[in-house]
Amino acid sequence: MNAFFKKDILVFCRDRKQILIPLILPIIMIVVMGFLLPNWMGNAPSSIKMKVGYVVKDDVENGLRKFQDSLAARGISEEEAVQLVGAAKEIHPANLLKYVFANEQVAEMIELTQLNEEEALLKLKAEEIHAIVTLPEGFTRGVLDKMLLGEGEGAAISLVAEDPTQEVSVLQGMIEGFMRQLNADAAIANAGAEAVKQGQMAWKPVVSEVGGVEQIEGINTVTTSQYFTLSITLIFTLFGAAAIAGKAVTEKREQVFQRILLSGSRPLSYLTGKISATFILAVVQLLLVFTVSHFALNVFSDFSLRFWIGFILLTVMLCVFIAAMSGLFTALMLRMNADIANGIINIFIIALGMVGGNFVPVYILPDSMQQLWGWTPNGLWLSTMVQWIQEQSWTVAVEGIMGLAVFTAVTVALSVWIFPKRGRI
């Protein structure tokens, strides 16, 4: 097997065209796509439509009243208390969020329906709504305490969704934007309080974050560059696998394969050599593209070590699968007429790329195609990577790796089955 592996690596590396296309072209395409397309997760395209359940557990009036009462308990003078209560009424955090959703452009995308919690969960399960935004109990009081007095933990808006879809990411972005605005307001309010304090107040408010988004499916947004770096590189590794398998056609046509058979080598050693060489070349290809993307194009900046460990594991698993695909392509090339096999393989890769979201983000495809996403190996890897970027959940990563392992096992079994037996060359 070692001889086959070395031979395949040498043959591939000596072919400059073969080596430059899968290594350089993806990088060029990633740069071009990054410039041409909007940040599809960050900037909501107008085509997005989503239904959101709005659950308010917070009692606003009660929150204001408790805030007012707490001022007296803190021994704040009446004059200061009047100022703070006035500011609190003006801020009215719950209303601020409503204003965000009432905005004409936002309303075009997001249909907000106020529901109770139970009702909202039922509708989410029935897929009648895409997400639930919840203002938790004590939200107003928590925000006001943190904003105006610098006390407590603040408050968090809860966002729950079944799937980390593009729509949910857009909604998440909006809520995060809202929270950032609230934080900025808090800073301004505290700066005012500082001025008050310098004259009359005995306590110093702390400028800090009011809160965040508490429970979100899809914590980080996936940028266009990230998505296309993954999807384009994946499709090029598949074409790379086909290119390595394509060498088998030359071997068959020029009777090198026959010479190999006559040597008494086990035909499966030949297949294993192709698979191993493809694995190494896929690793090199992905390593190079991701390294350039990270360091030169800043595609994967600000991620933790944990993220990179998962990223590498998933990428290695992808390389294993790509290597298995090269085995399947090789078997097809040897078994069938080379031109027909080539056509079938290219159509197959393009179809996989379409359904698997390699050419366009799967979210803009029809629902029926979206459902097939996770059932294609490339779609499975891509969706796992998207979720890994968003959530970094080991459960998701392991599920993805297991899924790809199954695809790999099936592909290898198919390759061995299709690989021509003696007398069939």
Partner 1 sequence: MLETVELSKSFKGKTVVDNVNLYLERGESIGLLGPNGAGKSTTISMISSLLVPTNGDVRLHGKSIVKNPQEIRKVLGVVPQDIALYEELSAYENLVFFGRIYSLPKSMLEHKIQEVLEIVGLRDRQKELIKTYSGGMKRRINIAAALLHDPQIVIMDEPTVGIDPQSRNHILETVKLLNREKGTTVLYTSHYMEEVEQLCNRMYIMDHGKVIASGTKEELGRILSSEDTILLQLDGYNEVVIAGIRSIDSVRHVEETVQGLKLIVTKQSRVLSAIVQCTERHGVQINNMHVQTPSLEDVFLHLTGRTLRD
Q: At a CB cut-off of 8 Å and minimum separation 6, what does 221 contact?
A: 39, 41, 42, 169, 172, 173, 390
- Shortest approach of partner 1 to residue 254 CB, angstroms? 5
What is the C-alpha separation between 142 and 137, in angstroms, rounded?
A: 9
256 binds partner 1 (CB under 8 A): yes
Binding mask 10-29 for partner 1 (x = CB under 8 A): xx--xx--------------
187 binds partner 1 (CB under 8 A): no
- Shortest approach of partner 1 to residue 417 CB, angstroms? 19
Where does this chain touch partner 1 (CB under 8 A) — which range of 1-9, 26-34, 87-95, 318-326?
1-9
141 binds partner 1 (CB under 8 A): no
Q: At a CB cut-off of 8 Å and minimum separation 6, what does 170 contact?
A: 41, 44, 48, 50, 109
What is the C-alpha separation between 229 and 291, in angstroms, rounded?
A: 11
Q: Select from 253, 287, 337, 394 the one that contacts partner 1 (CB under 8 A).
A: 253
Q: Which residue has the tokens 């088998």?
A: 248
Q: Cα 100 to the chain's mean position, in Å?
A: 26
7 binds partner 1 (CB under 8 A): yes
Radius of gyration, alpha carbons of the chain: 29
425 binds partner 1 (CB under 8 A): yes
261 binds partner 1 (CB under 8 A): yes
How many residues sit in the footprint of partner 1 (CB under 8 A)? 24
264 binds partner 1 (CB under 8 A): yes
265 binds partner 1 (CB under 8 A): yes
Cβ-based burial of 59 (10 A; exposed 0-12, middle 13-18, buried ≥19): middle
Q: What are residue 81's phi and psi, to 5 degrees? A: -60, -40
Question: Per DSSP, what are the bridge partners of residue 110?
Answer: 50
333 binds partner 1 (CB under 8 A): no
37 binds partner 1 (CB under 8 A): no
194 binds partner 1 (CB under 8 A): no
- Shortest approach of partner 1 to residue 271 CB, angstroms? 14
Number of H helices and number of E strands within the chain? 17, 4
List residues near partner 1 by CB under 8 A.
2-4, 6-7, 10-11, 14-15, 253-256, 258-265, 422-423, 425
